[in-house]
Every structure is written in C-alpha cells, then in structure tokens.
Amino acid sequence: MDDTMNIYKEFFKLPGEYKAKFYSNDINKSCRLCSSTLAYDTEEFHYWRDNFTHHCYPLEEYIMTWPNKPTKYREVVSEYSIETRKLLYKILDMICKGVGLEKGYFEGELSKTNVISVNHHIPCPNPSLTLGMPVHSDPNLITLLQQCDVPGLQILKDGKWIGVQLIPHAIVVIPGLQLKVISNDRFITPVHRVVTHAKEVRTTIGVFLGPSPKSLIKPATPLVRTEPEFRAFTYPEFLKTFTAGAKCDAQFALNHFRNKA
Ligand SMILES: O=C(O)CCC(=O)C(=O)O
Ligand SMILES: [Fe+2]
C-alpha cells in the first residue's frame, strides 16, 4: 500500500511535459489525466483536483497504456491492482453471504470493469471557495479507497457532513449504485464529497469495480419478494442518465429506473 502511494506521489511530481502526454477529457481513453472533472468545459464550477485514471483488468490488455515513469510504476501498480481485485471479491462474497446470494454472484460481467482512479489535490489557499470533489455517489458496483494522512473525504449523514476518519492503512469500502440496485435497495450508497486543505498535498487511490458495458443489471431474483424495485438496464444506459446535463445525479438516475409502486 505504501509503495503504491509513494509511486503516485512521485508520479504527480514528474515534469509537466511527461504528464501532459496523458492529459485528456476523452472518456474513451483508457489511461488519462484530467483536472477538476471530465465535464471541465461545461461544468458550472471547477474543482481543486487532478485525477489520474486507467483500466487494470485484464492486465495484459492495459498495462502497455500505463506510464513507465516512475520506473517501478507498472511493477508496483500491477501487483496492487491484482491484490485489491482479490480483496474486492472477498468483500463481495461476504456481502453475498450477508444478503443471501450464492458465493460468486458478482463475478464475471457484473464486475469486469476494474479501474484505478487517483486523486491529487495540491494545497488550496482558500478551502472555503472550492471543493476537491463534487457531492456525488459512486455509480459503479463497489469502490475501495486508500487515503493518505491528510483528511478531506466527508459523507452526508442525517443532513450533516461527517469527516471520514484517517486510520493508517485502513481501506474505506464504498458500496456503489449498482450494488444498491442488485441488492434490491438493501444497500445504502453514501453521498460523499472531498474538501480541500490549505497547507497539505492530499493523494488518494480509488479502486473501482463495475459492470462490463454488455451486462444486464437488475435486482437479484432471490432478493425480490413481490416486485423488483428497479427495472433491468445496461450499465451504459445507467451512466447516460447519471451524467445527463453533466450532473452525476444519483437520485435522478435511480428514479429513472425505479419501478413505480
Ligand atoms: O479522494 C477521496 O477521498 C474520494 C474519492 C471519491 O469519492 C471518488 O473518486 O469517487
Ligand atoms: Fe466517490
């Protein structure tokens, strides 16, 4: 975990000319660096954030698109992505046990897309003027988040923003919107945001597992008593509704696919 965090801290210190090769707002680019959000040109406010993201699975398909600097990048990040994927499957199997689904229910198409997304926030002279990341819920299946030793992540609970505690080497697990749908509304997908820090640089590593574009998402049959809470959809259909108007509005997207009572 420390090696990977150090690799990313070094990556962001590399000269701008090297990092510029990765700069893109094209969602179809599998490895890209951007500032604020992907909707940079249309968003109402900009956010105090640089983000570096790339696909990790299948490794052989993507590793050549990754940076080769710092020199150990590919070695360290490939091990990290393999181990975090294994950990995510263990957590998903515990979830299966908890809600009453067969082991391995989420394996295959429902979790094929595996992305690493690293946020980097340089010190912000006036944190009251901007956020490091907008208020949002993760649209994917499940997320693992490794924080560094600088606070910033907050979740919304009972109308109040609560800072997520920093525990060295602890990993934050965030249930995504697809887990809410597949569990037929048993899971809460937390609303969260990132605030900036006036003095310290903050770097976090997120590992996102999500459905493949072709998988059909619907509430798992064993968890439906009478009517499913949501109708079936594909992940691209969901993302299109979620990002409509550059809003990333979870309630809007969920309501769009919710079966009315
Ligand atoms: O950087 C963080 O603490 C949170 C990141 C996050 O919420 C996200 O990437 O979706
Ligand atoms: Fe998030």
Is the reported ipTM for this assembly greater than 0.85? yes
- Tally the domains of the chain: 1
pLDDT of residue 221: 96
Average pLDDT of the residues in 199-204:
97
Q: Which atom of ligand 1 is nearest to the CA of 138?
A: 10
Residue 58: asked if its preceding bond is cis (omega within 30°), the reply is yes
Whether residue 53 is predicted with pLDDT greater than 80 in this model: the reply is yes
Is 195 near ligand 1, meaning CB less than 6 Å away?
A: no
Q: What percent of the chain has pLDDT over 90?
A: 87
Least confident piece of the model among 25-39, 176-190, 205-219: 25-39
In a domain, 58, yes or no: yes
| CA 134 to each of CA 44, 118, 178, 183: distance values in angstroms, whole numbers, following the listed order | 11, 15, 20, 26
Whether the full predicted model's pTM is greater than 0.90, yes or no, is: yes
Tell me, using a 6 A CB cutoff, whether residue 51 lines ligand 1. no
Evaluate whether residue 73 is within a structural domain.
yes
For residue 172, the CA-to-ligand 2 centroid distance in Å is 11
Question: Looking at the predicted structure, is the pLDDT value of residue 246 above 70?
Answer: no
Q: Tell me which residue range forms the domain holding 191.
A: 2-222
Residue 29 located in a structural domain: yes
Lookup result for tokens 């907008």: 134
Best residue among 48, 143, 148, 150 to mutate for probing ligand 1, ranked by most atoms within 8 Å of CB: 143
pLDDT computed for residue 44 by the predictor = 83
Sequence-ordered list of residues with C-beta below 8 angstroms from that of 39, at least 6 positions apart, any chain: 243, 246
Determine which helix (DSSP H) or strand (DSSP E) holds 209, and give its type and residue range: strand 202-210
Q: Classify 243 as helix, strand or coil.
A: coil
In a domain, 38, yes or no: yes
Please spell the DSSP secondary structure of 19-47, one letter per residue: HHTTB---TT-SEEEEES-TTTTT-SS--
Q: What are the tens digits of pLDDT across the range 124-174?
A: 999 999 999 999 999 999 999 999 999 999 999 999 999 999 999 999 999
Q: Nearest C-alpha to atom 9 of ligand 1 is from which residue?
A: 206
Question: Which ligand lies nearest the alpha carbon of 166?
Answer: 1
**Domain assignment present for 69:** yes
Among 49, 131, 145, which residue has the most ligand 1 atoms within 8 Å of its CB, making it the best to mutate? 145
Rounded CA-CA distance 251/86 in Å is 30
Nearest ligand 1 atom to alpha carbon 164: 3
Asked, for residue 153, whether it belongs to a domain, the answer is yes
Angle, alpha carbons 204-205-207 (nearest 5°): 145
Peptide bond into 70 cis (omega under 30): yes
Residue nearest atom 10 of ligand 1, based on CA coordinates: 138
Burial class (CB in 10 A: 0-12, 13-18, 19+), 77: buried
Answer whether residue 32 shows pLDDT above 70. yes
Residue 144 lies in a domain: yes
Domain for residue 143, yes or no? yes
Q: Bin 55: left if φ > 0, else alpha if -120 < ψ < 50, else beta.
A: beta
The response to whether residue 145 sits with its C-beta less than 6 Å from ligand 1 reads: yes
Q: Minimum-distance ligand to the CA of 132?
A: 1
Bridge-based pairing of strands 160-163 and 50-55 is: unpaired
Euclidean distance between CA atoms 14 and 190, whole angstroms? 34
CATH number where 117 lies = 2.60.120.330
- pLDDT bin (cut points 50, 70, 90) of residue 36 is confident
